[in-house]
């Protein structure tokens, strides 16, 4: 009986991840469901800014500038792509400044090689968006494999120390985007860590989201790349597909993910409520 009167152990903070062995503590039983304490409504200004810049960067500006300049002016292709890639660089710079302000880190500048020649490689200039989702899908899938095989982190990844079990890629994405881009900060990093360690349903949801994003991202990236590289597809159409298809897919998958997460979190809360642990 004496044991039942003892208070529950305190929730682990991120500092508990850096123990003497350098490994993360294993998932633990928790007396109550740790709260994430995060609402999209509380960060709607930051979220609106992020998505506006993202939409301008990867879809709206490249397409809105390219087609009028290509069909309605007599500018040479080199000048057209000097304008479109220049604007692309400005918006990317704004995004990097925003993240640098949050992280106090210096970012590198990336240039599109295909826009450098006098006669730009239009198909190559259509590849930034497909390249990104190929990289993203491959990275998420790699995290999935490492997590399934219980391979430890080879170095510090996000808030997880070297030697800790690799967590799903979606965990890292959610943690960094919400903590940094929406300004939720370290408090959210601690909250999502506690939730991940305490809730099997939460861990299962992140694993499912991992595969939901990784496999289609690779499929879309390969498919769009094949269309862009196909000489039977006119260059101007390939350019539109390269810049337009990936953001469209991301938008659809994001809407599905939002609904999926809301339903999963509601079911998780109901399951814990039945045990009186909410």
Q: What global pTM score does this model have?
A: 0.66
Residue 32 belongs to some domain of the structure: no
Angstrom distance (rounded) from CA 207 to CA 161? 20
Segment 130-142 mean pLDDT: 93
pLDDT of residue 266: 93
What pLDDT band is residue 19 in, cutting at 50, 70 and 90?
very low
Residues 6+ apart with CB under 8 A from 133: 217, 220, 221, 246, 249, 250
Angstrom distance (rounded) from CA 221 to CA 172: 21
Alpha-carbon gap, residue 156 to 177, rounded angstroms: 17
When comparing pLDDT for 190 and 111, which is higher? 190
Roughly how many angstroms between the first and final C-alpha of the chain, as a whole number? 23
**CA 151 centroid distance within chain:** 22
Pairwise CA distance, residues 269 & 278, whole Å: 7
Higher local confidence (pLDDT), 144 or 111? 144
Residue 22 DSSP class: S
Residue 26 lies in a domain: no
Neighbours of 26 (CB within 10 A): 7
- φ, ψ at 160 (rounded to 5°): -90, 130
The answer to whether position 21 is within a domain reads no
Structural domain of 186: 39-274
Tokens coding 229:
């590289």
Any domain includes 165: yes
Asked whether residue 43 is assigned to any structural domain, the reply reads yes
In a domain, 16, yes or no: no
User: What's the confidence (pLDDT) of residue 268?
Assistant: 92
- For the chain, the domain total comes to 1
Kindly state whether residue 259 falls inside one of the protein's structural domains: yes
Buried b (16+ CB within 10 A) or exposed e, 210-226: bebbbeebbebbeebbe
Residue 20 buriedness (CB in 10 A; 0-12 / 13-18 / 19+)? exposed
- Specify the pLDDT at position 131: 94
Q: Per-residue confidence at 80, pLDDT binned at 50, 70, 90?
A: confident
Count CA atoms closer than 13 A to 129's CA, side-chain side: 30
Per-residue DSSP letter, 162: T
- Are 243 and 62 in contact, with CB atoms under 8 Å apart? yes
Rounded CA gap, 86 and 27, in Å?
48
Q: Is residue 10 part of a domain?
A: no
What's the confidence (pLDDT) of residue 23? 38
Q: Closest Cα partner for 80 from 236, 193, 232?
A: 236
- Mean confidence (pLDDT) of the chain: 78
């Amino acid at each position: 009986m004496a044991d039942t009167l003892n208070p529950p152990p305190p929730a682990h903070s991120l500092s508990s991840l850096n123990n003497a062995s350098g490994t993360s503590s294993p998932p633990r039983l928790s007396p109550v469901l740790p709260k994430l304490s995060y609402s999209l409504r509380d960060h709607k200004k930051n979220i609106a800014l992020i998505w506006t810049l993202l939409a301008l960067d990867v879809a709206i500006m490249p397409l809105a500038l390219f087609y009028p300049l290509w069909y309605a002016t007599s500018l040479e292709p080199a000048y057209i792509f000097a304008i479109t890639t220049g604007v692309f660089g400005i918006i990317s710079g704004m995004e990097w400044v925003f993240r640098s302000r949050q992280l106090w880190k210096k970012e590198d500048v990336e240039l599109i090689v295909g826009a450098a020649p006098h006669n730009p490689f239009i198909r190559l200039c259509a590849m930034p968006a497909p390249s990104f989702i190929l990289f993203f899908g491959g990275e998420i899938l790699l995290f999935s494999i490492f997590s399934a095989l219980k391979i430890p982190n080879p170095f510090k990844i996000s808030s997880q120390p070297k030697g800790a079990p690799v967590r799903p890629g979606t965990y890292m994405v959610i943690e960094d985007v919400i903590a940094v881009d929406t300004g939720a900060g370290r408090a959210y990093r601690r909250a999502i860590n506690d939730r991940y360690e305490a809730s099997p349903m939460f861990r299962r949801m992140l694993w499912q989201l991992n595969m939901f994003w990784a496999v289609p991202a690779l499929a879309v990236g390969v498919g769009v790349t094949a269309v862009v590289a196909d000489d039977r597809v006119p260059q101007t159409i390939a350019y539109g597909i390269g810049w337009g298809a990936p953001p469209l897919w991301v938008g659809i998958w994001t809407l599905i993910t939002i609904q999926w997460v809301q339903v999963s979190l509601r079911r998780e809360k109901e399951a814990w409520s039945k045990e009186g642990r909410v």
